[in-house]
Amino acid sequence: MKRSAVAPRDKYFLKSLHQEIDLYDRKLADLRKFGTFETPEERQQAENTFLTKRASLEKTARELSASGVEFDKEDLPRSFRKELEHESLERAS
């Protein structure tokens, strides 16, 4: 019996993606505030590494939610919640 190598793309997978995105948000904030590097180029390279990985996760998460995978607003990364709050304020205006 052969198992599929593809992870299931359900609400639990999306929740774990949201958690991982939130982790990268926190890592980036920590790097920007407390990171010490010998040169600005090293700092930029470290930041770009985190941003690249986070962008990949964000793309997958947004594709899943756009395709109709359910999620709870409480499970969204903080950076996504800010976007939702901003959008709802614009609609209310």
Residues 37-79: tens digit of each pLDDT: 999 999 999 999 999 999 999 999 999 999 999 999 899 999 9
What SS3 state is found at 91?
Answer: helix
27 closest CA partner among 42, 44, 55, 46: 46
Helix (H), strand (E) at residue 90: helix 78-92
Rounded percentage of the chain residues whose pLDDT exceeds 90: 71
Any alpha helices (H) in 35-77, and if so which ranges? 40-66
Average pLDDT, the chain: 89
Quote the pTM value: 0.81
Distances (CA, A) of 79 to 30, 36, 41: 15, 24, 26
pLDDT tens per residue, range 2-46: 555 666 789 999 999 999 999 999 999 999 999 999 999 999 999
